[in-house]
Structures are given as structure tokens and as C-alpha cells.
Amino acid sequence: MALSKIDIPLPAQHFLECGIEDCERNCEFYCNLCHQRLCKQCRDEHLKSPENKNHEVVLYQQRKRQLPVKKCKIHPTKDVDMFCEECQVPVCSKCVTKGDHPKHTFVDLEAVYAEKFALFQQEISKIHEYFLPTSQDLQKEIKKDSSEIKHLMDNIRTSMKTEGESLKSLVDTVISENMKQLDQIEHSVLEDLNTQDKTIDDYITYLNNLVKELHRCLTSTETQKLMSEKKPKIRSIPETTKPVTPGFTAGQYNKSDVTKLLGKIYVPNTKAEKREIQPMESVYNTAMKPTHKQMKEDRKKSDKKQTMSLSASVTKVREFNVPGVDEVYHVSLDQLDRLWISDYDGNLVQTDLQGNVIQKIETWSGMKGFHTVTQGRDLIFTDKYKTVINRITQDNNITEFIKTGDWLPLSIHSSHINGDLLVGMMKLTETKGLFKMRKIKKESKVTRYNKTGKELQNIQRDNKGQDLYGEPCYITENINGDICTSGYDKAAVVVVNKSGQYRFSYTGQASEFSPFGICIDVFGHILVSDEISNSVHLLDQDGQFLSLLLTQQQGVEFPRSVCVDDENNLYVRQLTNTLTVYKYLQ
């Protein structure tokens, strides 16, 4: 069946008006029978009418989607409004009575349509919250790798050129030294040859003079003189040596030798590693498409849930004191008849619903939402001074579960969806400013760990690069996976989706707002205590203010902690160590 119109939930900054003519108040409720948007006043008027007393009026977020009108192809005068479970086709009421589907089971088509609509919205949500962000992150990683590869290649080119220049420099140095050595040898040899040449030249002069002398004797007329002259003794020819000539041995090298000297390009012989894709369960924990049996079970659960709504008034159920703590700052549910309660000084006690202490632990934390109970009933609590997260198992063994390094773990919540741990953290860094004055820089974030303590996600800034958190003092998770934190220093409730993308902030209804404890109920309502106005604020899943659920007029004083159990009881910390339990859903 084609959808005539996609009904997309409005974001937090928009609101719907009541659908009753001339009413301009905000829409809070929806009549599933009339398919009419209603404000609180119009809802009351609508249900006062006797003909409407059995109408199903629910919160707008829990409305049934209106079935598009379509005529039956077999019975054109009839609207298609039933669904044959055996044939898996929409039919009209006449198809049911005419026996075209003997002994088949039929269900309300509007209910099936609502389920299908929700499934398709779920797929759209998966795409927007997991597949698109994950693909975009991969694309960023690929572009980053491309940039890094270019940078790496440039570095290799620079290294190759440097190696070549270095080798050239060495070659020039060796040639220069060889030339210098050859010049010295040449100078020495030539100097020796010049000395020998002068010696021989002197000897030749000596011989020429001797010849002249002998000629004079021969040409003399005085015979007696010639006869008296002794035979001249000719000096020996001076000894000379041949020069020892230098040689040159050519270098014995080839291209391989030069490659060894200059380096070689190589590609590692390893298989390319697949990029890691974060599992969808860690970002978007939603069951896969349910079977028909599961759809029927979910329908039954949904019908039961839709019978509940906000009460016209809040009723006090009981009140009890908690020994062992001075002031209640945080409450964690253990099981239906057990609570973990802490105070400003880090005293942490386990009590029953009458305030009887079962056990007590002294910790180094306090004041904030520093403890939670897992699906397996292990107690998890933070130690901001040792920067660790501790686990206490059912047999009372205490172990250091996670070390957070420089980050101080302030608040913690164990997910009811997948068991992940959400931790609000803060880091203080000392810097020196003008005139060497010391300055303290504060950073905050939310980190997600899985059940084994592996870090999965860090959330610190929005898409504009602005810090999201002041101090995330209390933290919880909504039924749609949104991460909700409150912090009195920033005076705001900050909500991001499963992927860590900023959704909205809530800053109260007055000029001053001091949020402390925060929790979620079965409808995804956000409940947050405000110490300044002595009240508990009720918001819808998209951040729209619904009401001041509890106020000072109802005896609420300095509420610090709020908590809703599986029976929809609301626990609120009153002054000192008193816990008051209320009913606000009917």
C-alpha cells in the first residue's frame, strides 16, 4: 500500500498546535479514534462527552498513524480496513464476510499499518543515525588517507633527492681528494725528474769543458807539454732513475650497487587491511526486522502501554528515611525491592524500600550521579580521584574495571538497551596566561564503553566545534538511545542522539535553572529536578516542556535526585536523607 504522506516527527524547536478549531494552544495529546490533535484542555472536553468516553486518547508521541483511505478493488464501495494474516493482503469487511478467506485470521489494518510505518521510520532512523554518519566517517577517513599518502610520497621523494645529493657530495669529495693526491704525486715526480735533468745537464757541461781542454792539448806546439800530460780520467755518468708512474683502478660497481647506496622503493607484501566499521549495535541498538509473531507480541505490549497516560494529579505513595547517608544525591535501581543511594561525601548504601540498610560502601566520589547497576545486577561506581571505574559483582568482589587516564569520571549510566556504559567526564589542564598567571582549562565529554570496558565513542563537541558540556554531573539514556545529561554549572539539560550528534538543550522555564538528577520513564519522558525552583520538570522525548510535575506547593524541597522504577514509581529526594515515592502515570 502506497503511503500518501510521510509523517515525520517534528524537531524540538517546533511545536504542533491543537487541532480543535480556534484553539491555538500546543498539542500534547491525540485521539486515536478521531485522529485529532488535542491540547490538555481540549482533551478533557473531548472525553467529557458521553459519545467519546471510550475514545483512546494518548500522548501525541504514542499516537496511531491514520490509515490512508483506499477502496477495495473487489468491492469498490467498501474501504480497505482489515488485514488477512494468512494471505498477507489488505481486505475490506465485505471480503471477510463473503467467504473469500475461509477460516483466515484478520486483524485491524490500521494497527498493522502503524507497525509497518514504525518499521520504515526505524529504517530511516537507522540510515540517518548509523549508515549515513558511518559512511561519511569512512569517506573522511579515505580523504584523510589520500592526503596522508600524498604527504608520504612527497617525503619519500625528498628522501630520495637527499640520498642522491648526499651521494653526489661524497663522489665530489672522493674525486677532489683523488685529484689532490694525483697533483701531489705529479709534483713530486716532476721535481725528481727536474733534479735528474739538472744533474745530467751539469755532467754534459763537464764533458764539453773536458773536450775543449783535450783539444787544446792536441793543438799545442809544445810537444813536451802534451807528452807530460796524464791521460784524463772521465767521471762516470751520473745515475738516474725512471719515475714510478701512478695508476688508476676504476671503480667496480653496477646499477644494483648504486641502488643499494641510494635506497630502493618497495611496497610491503601484505594484504590491504579492511577499514573498521563500527558495529551498528554500538551506535544504533535496534532489533532487526521482527517476525510476524514478534509483531503480534509487540502489538500486545503497545496496547498495554497505551492504556497508561499522565494522571491529572500526582499522588504520594510513601516516604522513608535512609540511614547511613546525610543527603540523598543519587539513586540507582538494583531490582524491584532494592536501591543504591549516595550522598555528598560518597557514602553509598544499599537499602530495601522501607529504608533498611543492607550494606554500605565508602567511596571517594559523591554529590553527582556516580553509580549505576548493570543488567546483570553488578554495581558500577566511579572514583574521580583515582580516575577509575569500579565494578562490584554479586559476590561482593570489587575490581578496577576501567581506567580513565587524565579524565575524571563524574557520572555513569548502564544502558538498558544494550548494556553499554555511558560516562560523563571532565579534565582540568593548568596553563600559564598573561604575566605567567596560572589558568585552569576545563574540558568535558561523554564516553561510551561496551560491557567489557572497551572504549567505543567519545562525545565532546557539536557539529560547529562548540563544547557540548560544562560538567556532565548526571547522565541517563532515553528509550530511543538519546544520551541525556544534566549539569548545574551549565544550567542545562543537553541531549545528543546515539551517534553523538547534538539534538537539543533545555534551560528551564525561568531565568534561573539548576538541574540535578535526571531519569527517563516508560514513554521516553525526561524528568529532571530543579533545585532553584524546588520542582521536577517533565519533558517529552524531543525536549518539549510538558509540565512542572512536582512543585514546592506539593512539599518538594531542594530535589537533587529523581528515579523511576519498573512499576512507574517516581522517587524524589526531599530535604536531607528522605526519599518520597509518587505515582504520576495511570
Amino acid at 580: T
Q: Does 434 reside within a domain?
A: yes
pLDDT of residue 381: 95
Name the pLDDT band for 1 (thresholds 50, 70, 90). Answer: very low
Give residue 369's Cα distance to chain centre.
Answer: 22
Residue 506 lies in a domain: yes
- pLDDT, tens digit, 9 for 90 and up, residues 495-534: 999 889 999 999 999 889 999 999 999 888 999 999 999 9
Say whether both 224 and 314 belong to one domain: no
Answer yes or no: do 429 and 313 share one domain.
Answer: yes
Q: Is residue 226 part of a domain?
A: yes
What is the per-residue pLDDT for 308? 57
Are 318 and 228 contained in the same domain? no
Stretch 475-500: mean pLDDT? 92
What percentage of the chain reaches a pLDDT higher than 90?
34
Render pLDDT for 30-44 as a digit per residue (tens, 0 to 9).
Answer: 898 888 899 999 998
Question: Do 528 and 424 share a structural domain?
Answer: yes
Residue 11 predicted with pLDDT over 50? no
Q: What is the pLDDT of residue 203?
A: 92
Residues 317 and 239 in one domain: no
Average pLDDT score over the chain: 84
- Burial class for 528, CB neighbours closer than 10 Å (0-12, 13-18, 19+): buried
Average pLDDT over every residue of 199-226: 83
User: Grid coordinates representing 182?
Assistant: 694525483
Q: Is residue 102 part of a domain?
A: no
Residue-level pLDDT at 14: 45
Domain contains 400:
yes
Binning pLDDT at 50, 70 and 90, where does residue 16 land? confident
Range of the domain at 316: 308-585
Residues 234, 324 within the same domain: no
- pTM for this structure? 0.52
Contact 322, 351 (CB under 8 A): yes
CATH number for 577 = 2.120.10.30
Q: Look at the block and give the residue holding cell 574540558.
A: 443
Pairing type for strands 357-362 and 347-351 reads antiparallel
CA distance 250 to 141: 53
Q: Is residue 496 a part of any domain in this protein?
A: yes
Q: Flag whether pLDDT at 433 surpasses 60.
A: no
The pLDDT of residue 9 = 42
Assess whether 444 and 540 both reside in one domain: yes
pLDDT at 194: 94
- Measure the CA–CA gap between 421 and 464, rounded to whole angstroms: 26
What are the two backbone dihedrals, phi and then psi, of residue 469, each rounded to the nearest 5 degrees? -120, 150
User: Element (H or E) spanning 92, and its range?
Assistant: strand 89-92
**Pick from 209, 224, 247: which residue ends a domain?**
247
Q: What is the mean pLDDT of residues 72-86?
A: 86
534 and 388 within one domain: yes
How many structural domains are present in the chain? 2
Q: Which three cell numbers stand for residue 479?
A: 528509550
Domain shared by 329 and 236, yes or no: no
- Residue 146, CA distances (Å) to 136, 149, 265 in order: 15, 5, 19
Complete DSSP assignment for 168-183: HHHHHHHHHHHHHHHH
Q: Given pLDDT bands bounded at 50, 70 and 90, which one contains residue 285?
A: very low
- What pLDDT was estimated at residue 32? 84
In a domain, 371, yes or no: yes
529 and 420, same domain (yes or no):
yes
Residue with cell 553509598: 348
Rounded average pLDDT over 193-201: 93
What average pLDDT does this structure show over 208-228?
Answer: 78
Beta bridge partners of 411: 424
Neighbours of 289 (CB within 10 A): 10
Kindly state whether residues 424 and 319 are assigned to the same domain: yes
Same domain flag for 366 and 510: yes
Smallest Cα–Cα separation from 450: which of 412, 478, 418?
A: 418
Alpha helices in 50-128, H assignment, sequence order: 93-97, 109-126
> Which one of 247, 273, 297 terminates a domain?
247
Per-residue pLDDT at 296 = 52
Is the pLDDT score of 284 beyond 60? no
Distance of CA 320 to the CA centre of its chain: 41
155 found inside a domain: yes
Determine the pLDDT at residue 281: 62
* Neighbouring C-beta atoms of residue 462, cutoff 10 Å: 15
**For residue 70, pLDDT beyond 60:** yes
Helix axes 109-126, 292-306, angle to 10 degrees: 100
The pLDDT score that the predictor gives to residue 75 is 86
Give the integer Cα–Cα distance in Å for 15 and 25: 10
Which of 247, 268, 297 delimits the end of a domain? 247
pLDDT at 369 over 90: yes
Look at 101-115, 184-198, 413-427 and tell me which has the smallest mean pLDDT. 101-115
Mean pLDDT of 245-261: 81
